[in-house]
Amino acid sequence: MSELNKIALKILSNGKGILAADESTGTMTKRLEAIKVPSSSENRLLFRETLFSSASMKTCIGGVILYDETIKQTASSNKTIPELISSSGAIPGIKVDTGVKVLAGSPQEKITEGLDGLRERLKEYYKHGARFTKWRGVYNISNRYPSKLSINSNAHALARYSALVQECEMVPIVEPEVLMDGNHTAQDCFNKTSEVIKKCFEELLLHNVDLTGIILKPNMILQGNKSENKISSEEVAKLTLKCLKENVPSNVPGIAFLSGGQTEIQATENLNLINRNNNTNFIMTYSYGRALQQSALKFWSKNIKDIQGTQKVFNHRANMCTLAAQGKWSSELETK
């Protein structure tokens, strides 16, 4: 078992999942302004530190994805943020892409940037304590998109990124996100996601990436958020499992789903059904941002000094997600 494989399994095993706390300063500012909290670096740190020092970090969270600002901050206990995360047994990670830009040659689509200077940035993040990384490719979906250009360009970028990350002895999260926006059917999502994931693995193999030392972070198979053709959670689970079984090589250790616009409850219920029906060898868990933090953020906004109350809300959500990652969740547990 390689060192990278050990890290990946430590993050994903025993129902643990990933807390995606890598919102950029711009995104975090929008979230805080929406709840009438000033977006100062102190307030951004206070909210994140509240989550990172909660009890469920020990029992539910295997890894935390950080943003550049946060990985360099120090908690009120005088521990650095990576030290605080490590002290709970979770592994600190870092988002390393520099965001999405318009794809030249197909202006309706996006390409993720950040390969320039990445090798040097990775060395710095490693010194700060990061042991895994994240890079997100995004794909529009419609009858014309994603185009071959978008599928190929983003797969190439994800593979180059992954090779550099493994060279620096960290585990890359490979995140190809087929967006929920649109009126497409779940079958459309299945077809396009299959194409996207297949191409990603072709490129990863071409770049000699060790597949036992990566984590795949895909979308679930869902209908578009404007679609009339709603499908059940059972159908979501069935299509998602079929897509991954057909397109992900069996030596990948695990899959951590993004929540991608689902509500907290939807993301939990769908993950639970995926695990109840999981007939693969893959660990299937969560890498949620909003679907782990939304309720806690709302509660915290009423009184940002109520640390314990906020942690209680976060602990509940994390516990629900971890039960779902083991196929043990039920809607009755939500109200207990």
CATH of 3-335, one of 3.50.30.30, 3.30.300.30, 3.40.190.150, 3.20.20.70: 3.20.20.70
Each residue's pLDDT tens digit, 53-79 = 999 999 999 999 999 999 999 999 999
Rounded percentage of the chain residues whose pLDDT exceeds 90 = 96
At 27 the pLDDT is 93
At 261 the pLDDT is 87
Whether the pLDDT of residue 137 is over 80: the answer is yes
Residue 141: pLDDT band by 50, 70, 90 thresholds?
A: very high
- Looking at the DSSP bridge assignments, the partners of residue 133 are 94, 172
Whether the pLDDT of residue 256 is over 80: the answer is yes
- Looking at the DSSP bridge assignments, the partners of residue 102 are 110
d(CA 298, CA 253): 34
Pairing outcome for strands 106-112 and 132-139: unpaired
At 158 the pLDDT is 98
Question: Which residue in 315, 322, 321, 334 sits closest to 56, CA to CA?
Answer: 315
At 320 the pLDDT is 98
Each residue's pLDDT tens digit, 98-122 = 999 999 999 999 999 999 999 999 9
Q: What is the CA radius of gyration of the chain?
A: 19
The enclosing H or E element of 287 equals strand 283-288
Task: Looking at the chain, list the stretches that DSSP marks H as alpha helix, in order from N- to C-terminal side.
Answer: 3-12, 25-34, 41-52, 56-59, 68-71, 81-87, 118-128, 148-167, 186-206, 233-247, 264-276, 290-302, 307-324, 331-335
At 130 the pLDDT is 98
SS3 216: strand
Find out whether 211 and 251 touch, Cβ atoms under 8 Å: yes
Each residue's pLDDT tens digit, 319-328 = 999 999 999 9
Residue tagged 């042991």 (tokens)? 131
At 77 the pLDDT is 93
Catalytic residues: 217
Residue 85: pLDDT band by 50, 70, 90 thresholds?
A: very high
Q: Which residues contact 336 (CB under 8 A, 6 or more apart)?
A: none
Question: Which residue in 329, 316, 332 sits closest to 60, CA to CA?
Answer: 316
Each residue's pLDDT tens digit, 210-230 = 999 999 999 999 998 898 888
Backbone angles phi and psi of 4, in degrees to 5 = -65, -40
Question: Which residue in 67, 38, 37, 36 sits closest to 52, CA to CA?
Answer: 67
Each residue's pLDDT tens digit, 264-314 = 999 999 999 999 999 999 999 999 999 999 999 999 999 999 999 999 999
At 140 the pLDDT is 95
Q: Which residues contact 89 (CB under 8 A, 6 or more apart)?
A: 57, 58
Rounded percentage of the chain residues whose pLDDT exceeds 70 = 100
At 301 the pLDDT is 94
| The length of the chain, given as a count of residues | 336
Find out whether 66 and 326 touch, Cβ atoms under 8 Å: no
Find out whether 155 and 209 touch, Cβ atoms under 8 Å: no
SS3 303: coil
Whether the pLDDT of residue 336 is over 80: the answer is no
At 84 the pLDDT is 98
Could you tell me the two tokens for 255?
């899959």
At 179 the pLDDT is 96
d(CA 66, CA 10): 18
At 216 the pLDDT is 98
At 229 the pLDDT is 85
At 116 the pLDDT is 97
Pairing outcome for strands 283-288 and 215-216: unpaired
Q: Which residues contact 46 (CB under 8 A, 6 or more apart)?
A: 304
d(CA 233, CA 239): 10
At 228 the pLDDT is 87
- Segment 132-137 shows an average pLDDT of 98
Could you tell me the two tokens for 27?
């995104």
More confident residue, 26 or 1: 26
Find out whether 215 and 180 touch, Cβ atoms under 8 Å: no
- What is the average pLDDT value for the chain, to the nearest integer? 96
- Segment 227-253 shows an average pLDDT of 95
